[in-house]
Amino acid sequence: MSDRPVKIAPSILAADFACFGAECRAAEAQGADWIHVDVMDGHFVPNISFGPAVAKALRPHIGGVMDVHLMIAPVDPYIEAFADAGADYLSAHVEAGPHVHRTMQAIRGAGMKAGVALNPGTPAEAVLPLLDDVDLVVVMTVNPGFGGQRFLHGQLGKIAAIRAAIGDRPVHLEVDGGVDPSTAGAVAAAGADVLVAGSAVFGKGSADAPEGYGAAIRAIREAAAGR
Ligand code: DX5
Ligand code: ZN
């Protein structure tokens, strides 16, 4: 298990798209640590969600960390737009282009924390040369593009390998996809300290009746703590 306090980051991909502001406020009021914002372009992944204008509109409704996960290619032409939107963390996929290190530099240069994400088919080694130049590593435990998919247990070894490689660096290790109370324990035991959960949280209520969000967040947190 990670010795860091685990953060729970509900993904608004599973929220009601017609009331994102209320959904973000409800999730935070129910104990969310970060809000995870999934941006998809219909090209890098086979689905389209929303872009920087929606992220900017959300910003006043998020009191804490806005964690933006880009599933787009190319990335670099949009970095400034997400900085302007107020993203705290901006993550790009290592598979999204040939110059991921340059992308990390550009994200930091724009004043944001830089994250690098890996698809399930990409080995841990792909991010090792970047660890001194990122603030977050995102290990996908589903193929990106859709919420509500089954957790890929074969990724646990990769999570542990990246945690070991991070060592003492101040780099968060986030796991994204299929995290719920039944998988959170293994994810945290492997070394993740930020757990994204979409359907496991937003599938449990609504902004008008958000108690289920709180129960889900607590259940994931308890499971991550091994209780
Ligand atoms: C998948 C997204 C995830 C997704 C997680 O492409 O990056 O953040 O919303 O959803 P669940 O938790 O339902 O797997
Ligand atoms: Zn995501």
**Residue 216: count of CB within 10 angstroms of its CB:** 25
Query: What is the Å distance from ligand 1's center to 95 Cα?
Result: 18
The atom number, within ligand 1, closest to the CA of 145 reads 6
Token pair belonging to 155: 């990724």
Token pair belonging to 32: 């969310």
The atom number, within ligand 1, closest to the CA of 149 reads 14
Rounded to an integer, what distance in angstroms lies between the CA atom of residue 51 and that of residue 35?
Answer: 15
Choice among 67, 135, 176, 193 that is catalytic: 176
The atom number, within ligand 1, closest to the CA of 180 reads 12
Strand partners, 181: none
The pTM of this model reads 0.98
Rounded to an integer, what distance in angstroms lies between the CA atom of residue 219 and that of residue 211?
Answer: 12
199 lines ligand 1 (CB under 6 A): yes
68 lines ligand 1 (CB under 6 A): no
Confidence (pLDDT) at 3? 63
Rounded to an integer, what distance in angstroms lies between the CA atom of residue 164 and that of residue 219?
Answer: 27
**Per-residue tens of pLDDT for the chain, all 227 residues:** 446 789 999 999 999 999 999 999 999 999 999 999 999 999 999 999 999 999 999 999 999 999 999 999 999 999 999 999 999 999 999 999 999 999 999 999 999 999 999 999 999 999 999 999 999 999 999 999 999 999 999 999 999 999 999 999 999 999 999 999 999 999 999 999 999 999 999 999 999 999 999 999 999 999 999 98
Query: What is the Å distance from ligand 1's center to 147 Cα?
Result: 4
Rounded to an integer, what distance in angstroms lies between the CA atom of residue 47 and that of residue 28?
Answer: 26
- Per the CB < 8 A criterion, the answer to whether 191 and 159 are in contact is yes
Q: Identify the sign of the CA torsion 8, 13, 16, 21.
A: positive
Which domains are seen in the chain, by residue range? 7-224 (3.20.20.70)
Residue 84 annotated to the active site: no
148 lines ligand 1 (CB under 6 A): yes
Please write the tens of the pLDDT for every residue from 45-66. 999 999 999 999 999 999 999 9
**Residue 208: count of CB within 10 angstroms of its CB:** 9
Residue 16 annotated to the active site: no
Query: What is the Å distance from ligand 2's center to 37 Cα?
Result: 7
Q: Identify the sign of the CA torsion 59, 61, 65, 71.
A: negative
Confidence (pLDDT) at 227? 87
